[in-house]
Structure 1
Amino acid sequence: MILSKLAGRPVLLAAGLFAALALPWMVYPPVALDIACWALFAAAVDLLLGFTGLLSFGHAAFWGGSAYCTGLIALHSGLPFPLAILGGAVFAAVLALPIGFLSVRLRGIYFAMVTLAFAQMVYFVANQWRDVTGGENGLQGIPRELFGVDLSDPFFFYYAGLPFVLFGLFAAWRIVRSPFGRVLVSIRDNPARARALGYPVDRYKLLAFVLSAALSGIAGGLFAISHGFASLQEVYWTTSGQAVMMVVLGGIGTLWGAAVGAALVVQLHDYLATAGFQEIGIVTGSIFIVVVLLFRRGIWGTARHFWGVRASRRSSGTPTPSTSEREAVKART
C-alpha cells in the first residue's frame, strides 16, 4: 500500500500540472486564471482550517489588501507585475502579524468572529480612504506590464501568472508535509498535549496564520492584475465565506480539494452569470448543502477515502464486497 501511494503521488502531481497547463484551452482564459487564483486562496484557507484547526472569516482582508497594494504599486511605480504581486504578498503578511497576534489565542467561533471583525475594519478603511483606494470606484486601469511588455492578451497572461499559483500551491504542500506541518496537525488535534510536549502553540498558530495570509496575498494580487482593478468586493466578508465554501466542497485538510472546489464554484458562477441568472447564491448554496449532507469529507476527500479503502483491501487480500453481498448484509441487519 505504501509503495502504491509513493508511485501514485508523481502521477497525481503530473496530472495536476497538465490540467493547469491545459486549462485555458478548455475554458475562457480569464475564467481559467480566476480558477487558479481562487484555488490558491482556498488552499491558503485550508492550510489554516484543515491543518491548524482555525476557521478564519477574515482572509478577505489579506486577499483584498494585497489586491489594493498590488494595484497601487503597479499604478504608481511602474514596476513589473511580478514585483507588484510580491509587494502585495508582503503587505498581506505584515497585516496578518497584529491580527494574528490578537486572534490566535482564541478558538472556535471566537477566533472566526474576531478575524471577521478585523476584516470588516479593513473594509471600512478601504471604503473611507478614497484618495488612495478610490472608495466605491476602486482602483481601475491596473497595468499588466512585464519589463515594458504589455500582456493584455488574457491567454498569454495566464501562463505569465501561473508560476505564482504553482509556487504558492507547492509552498502549501511543502508546509503541511514538513515537521512544522506535523506540529500544526498535532495542535489541531490536541493543543493541550502539544503544549505539554513543549511546543509554543500560539507561536506556531501565528506563523501558520502569517504564511496563510502571504499565500492569500499572492492570489489576491494576481487576481487584481488579471482583472485590471481592485474593488471593495475583494475585502468584503463574503469573499472569505466563498473561500471557506470551496474548501468544504473540495474537502477540508486535502489541499487538492481546494482546487476542485474552486473550479466548481468559479465555473458555476461563470455559467450562471453568462446565462443571465441573478440569484447565483441560491444555486451555489443548494449544491453546498447537498455536498455537505452526502459527502461529509468533501468531493476530493470522499474520492480519496474510497480509493484508500479499495487499495487497502487489495493489499490485504480482502475481496471487495459485491452489490448483492452488501444488500444481503443490509437485509440481515
Structure 2
Amino acid sequence: MTVPTSNTTPSAGALHRKVIIAMALVFALAPLVGVYPVFMMKVMCFALFACSFNLLLGFGGLLSFGHAMFLGSAGYAAAHAAKIWGFTPELAILFATACAAGLGWVAGKLAIRRQGIYFAMITLALAQMVFFFSLQAPFTGGEDGIQAVPRGRLFGLVDLSQPIAMYALVFTVFMGGFLLIYRIVHSPFGQVLQAIRENEPRAISLGYDADKFKLRAFVLSAALSGMAGGTKALVFQLASLTDVHWSMSGEVILMTLLGGMGTIFGPVVGAAVIITMQNYLAELGSWVLVVQGGIFVVCVLLFRRGIVGELGAWLKKSL
C-alpha cells in the first residue's frame, strides 16, 4: 500500500513559511500599534475555530452543521473547571479540549455512517441536543451562562488578569493550533484525507479505511474547536448559549467559505473579516446580518474560491 505524499513544492513551502511569519508578526504586534487587544484575541479564537472547521470541510470534504457544539461545550467545560473546580488556566483549556474531543468521537461515530446532507443534518441534530442540554443543565447557568470566570494564574505564576499576559497566552494557543493543523494537512494522514475527499471509492480500493480517517479528522477538528472555545471562555470570562447556538455553526461556515475553503490561510482571513464587521458595524444592529449576507453573496458571485483562494489562483500559488 502506497501512502500519498505531500504535494507541497519547496517553493510553496517557502511561501507558506513567509506568510506564517508575517501572520504571526501581525498578531503579535497589533496591540503595539493601537489595536484593541480583546478584539484581536477574539479574532484569534475564531480564526482557530474556523481553521479547525476547514480541516474537516476543506480537506476532509465533510460539511458539519453542528460545529458550534464543540466550541460552546468546551467553553462551558473550561468555565466550570476554572470557576467551580479551581483549575489553573492551562488545565482548564486542556480539560475543555479533551471534553470536545470526547464529544467529537461520540458525534463522529454516529455521523460518519452517512454522507452528504445526511451527515450534515445528523451533526445539526446532535448540536441542537447539546444546545438544549446546555440550556437545561443546572451547572451551565441556563440563559445567564457561567459568568465571572476567573482567568487565574498560568502555571500558578503568570497573572492572566494582565491584558498582555492573556494576549500572549491566546497568541500561543492560536499559533500552536494553526501550526498543528498545517502539519496535519501536509502529513501522509492529511494527504489520505484529501484523497478520500476527492474520490472515496478509489481510496477504499487502495486499501484505506475511509471511515477511520474521517473519524480521526472529525475528532481532531472537534478538539481544536474545543481549544478555541475554552480559550475564548477565559478571554471573555463568560460561557454562554451564544457559542453553542446553531447560528454559530453558520458563522464558522461563512468564515471558511469567505476566506477560502480548502486553503491554509483562508479561514484566518475569513474570521478576521467577519469579526471586524461584527465589531465595527455593531451600531447597525440587526442590519449587520444583512450586510454580512450581501458580502457573502458578492463573494460567492465574484470570489468563488474565497478571498485567499482567488488570491492564490491569481498568484498561481497554493495558499
TM-score by length of 1: 0.89
Checking the alignment, whether the CA contact within 8 Å between 1:30 and 1:155 is kept in structure 2 is no
Task: Figure out how many residues of one structure are paired with residues of the other and give that number.
Answer: 308
* Structure 1 position 82, deviation (Å): 1.2
* Structure 1 position 158, deviation (Å): 1.1
In structure 1, what residue type is equivalent to 2:12?
Answer: K
In structure 1, what residue type is equivalent to 2:22?
Answer: A
Partner of 2:261: 252
In structure 2, what residue type is equivalent to 1:195?
Answer: I
Partner of 2:44: 36
In structure 2, what residue type is equivalent to 1:215?
Answer: L
* Structure 1 position 98, deviation (Å): 1.4
* Structure 1 position 17, deviation (Å): 1.2
* Structure 1 position 2, deviation (Å): 4.9
- Establish whether residue 202 from structure 1 lines up as the match of residue 246 from structure 2: no
SS at match of 1:79: coil
Q: Equivalents in 2 of 1:108, 1:44: separation in Å?
A: 19
Alignment partner of 1:192 out of 201, 205, 222: 201
Q: Give the alignment of 1:48-197 within 5 angstroms.
A: 48-129=56-137, 131-146=138-153, 147=156, 149-197=158-206
**Can you list the C-alpha shifts for 1:164-197, whole angstroms capped at 9, x where unaligned?**
1111111110111000000000000001011111
Alignment partner of 2:251 out of 236, 242, 256: 242
* Structure 1 position 3, deviation (Å): 5.2
Partner of 2:297: 289
Q: Equivalents in 2 of 1:74, 1:302: separation in Å?
A: 43
Partner of 1:19: 26
- Identity level (%): 45
Partner of 2:5: none
**Can you list the C-alpha shifts for 1:106-154, whole angstroms capped at 9, x where unaligned?**
111111111000000000101011x210001100011111116542233
SS at match of 2:250: helix
- Establish whether residue 221 from structure 1 lines up as the match of residue 212 from structure 2: no
Checking the alignment, whether the CA contact within 8 Å between 1:67 and 1:223 is kept in structure 2 is yes
Runs of 4+ in 1 over 4 A off after TM superposition: none
**Can you list the C-alpha shifts for 1:228-279, whole angstroms capped at 9, x where unaligned?**
1101111111111100100000000012001100100001100011x35332
Checking the alignment, whether the CA contact within 8 Å between 1:34 and 1:223 is kept in structure 2 is yes
Checking the alignment, whether the CA contact within 8 Å between 2:158 and 2:165 is kept in structure 1 is no
SS at match of 1:255: coil
Q: Equivalents in 1 of 2:280, 2:175: separation in Å?
A: 26
Partner of 2:4: none
Instruction: Give 1 or 2: higher helix fraction.
Output: 1
Q: For structure 1, list consecutive stretches of 5 or more residues without a partner in the other structure.
A: 312-333
Q: What is the root-mean-square deviation in Å for CA atoms of aligned residues?
A: 1.6
Q: Equivalents in 2 of 1:103, 1:2: separation in Å?
A: 35
Q: Give the alignment of 1:272-283 within 5 angstroms.
A: 272-273=281-282, 275-283=283-291
Q: Equivalents in 1 of 2:198, 2:11: separation in Å?
A: 27
TM-score by length of 2: 0.93
Pick closer, same or farther for the CA change 1:49–1:11 going to 2, 3 Å.
Answer: same
Alignment partner of 2:17 out of 10, 20, 24: 10
Checking the alignment, whether the CA contact within 8 Å between 1:49 and 1:55 is kept in structure 2 is yes
Partner of 1:324: none
